[in-house]
């Protein structure tokens, strides 16, 4: 991808909006996450806490790896990564490799993404040729380089989306349910 394509990718879309509309579902919670390295207190739990002010910080030599292993073969349509160049500067990734496979020994690079000072959600569509998604046991996000030749990396959030297989009709299509009686049934406990 060149910088022009990446800048188009660096939209400030909210991945939660697609989830709320029933177009995709977040499947990262179905996986086992591991990192190549991290500073104490800045581990994988920071990538998954849904707080944009926290971050994973790597510790060591490039490349820095985020490994996402699923218990069963899973459809993946896109990855969202939240970064903030204004806050993180040299810690912000500038080149990311997305790899997929069955295990660590057969990973194949799907995409190489160049980022130019990204701030907000970076959308990385995952495709296998003309197919709109891939089916895999494992994803790996490898940070190849950082801005300003930085050594360590900050990533604030990562979300993994799968397409929704069944036809789903979100309630938003039927209007706003704003009364107290409707709102109390909006969430299952």
| pLDDT tens sequence across 63-98 | 999 999 999 999 999 999 999 999 999 999 999 999
Mean pLDDT calculated for residue range 6-23: 67
Predicted pLDDT of residue 168: 53
**For residue 23, how many other CB atoms are within 10 A of its CB?**
14
- Between residues 129 and 23, the one the model is more confident about: 23
The answer to whether the Cα torsion of 8, 43, 135, 23 is positive or negative is: negative
Cα separation, 44 vs 140, in Å, equals 14
Question: Is the predicted pLDDT of residue 138 greater than 80, yes or no?
Answer: yes
The answer to whether the Cα torsion of 86, 90, 95, 100 is positive or negative is: negative
pTM over the 0.75 mark = yes
Phi/psi-derived region of residue 125, left when phi > 0, alpha when psi is between -120 and 50, beta in every other case: beta
Please name the residues in contact with 23: beta carbons below 8 A apart, sequence gap of 6 or more.
163, 164
Cα separation, 139 vs 141, in Å, equals 7
**How large is the greatest C-alpha to C-alpha distance in the chain, in angstroms?**
55
- Between residues 20 and 69, the one the model is more confident about: 69
Helix (H, G, I), strand (E, B) or coil at 6: helix
Mean pLDDT calculated for residue range 117-141: 89
User: Which helix (H) or strand (E) element contains residue 45?
Assistant: helix 44-47
Domains along the chain with CATH numbers: 15-184 (2.60.120.260)
- Between residues 169 and 10, the one the model is more confident about: 169
- Between residues 133 and 68, the one the model is more confident about: 68
Mean pLDDT calculated for residue range 163-188: 67
Predicted pLDDT of residue 21: 82
Q: How confident is the model at residue 2 (pLDDT cuts 50, 70, 90)?
A: very low
Rg (CA), the chain: 17
Q: How confident is the model at residue 8 (pLDDT cuts 50, 70, 90)?
A: very low
């Amino acid at each position: 991808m060149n910088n022009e394509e990446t800048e188009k990718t660096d939209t400030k879309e909210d991945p939660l909006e697609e989830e709320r509309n029933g177009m995709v579902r977040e499947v990262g919670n179905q996986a086992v996450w591991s990192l190549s390295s991290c500073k104490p207190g800045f581990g994988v739990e920071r990538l998954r806490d849904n707080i944009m002010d926290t971050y994973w910080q790597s510790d060591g030599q490039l490349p820095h790896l985020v490994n996402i292993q699923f218990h069963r073969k899973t459809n993946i349509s896109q990855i969202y990564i939240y970064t903030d160049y204004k806050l993180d500067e040299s810690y912000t990734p500038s080149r990311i490799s997305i790899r997929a496979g069955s295990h660590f020994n057969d990973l194949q690079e799907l995409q190489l993404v160049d980022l130019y000072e990204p701030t907000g959600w970076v959308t990385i569509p995952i495709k296998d040729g003309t197919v709109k998604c891939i089916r895999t046991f494992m994803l790996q996000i490898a940070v190849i380089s950082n801005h300003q030749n930085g050594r360590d990396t900050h990533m604030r959030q990562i979300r993994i989306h799968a397409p929704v297989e069944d036809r789903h009709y979100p309630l938003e299509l039927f209007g706003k349910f704003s009364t107290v009686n409707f709102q109390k049934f909006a969430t299952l406990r």
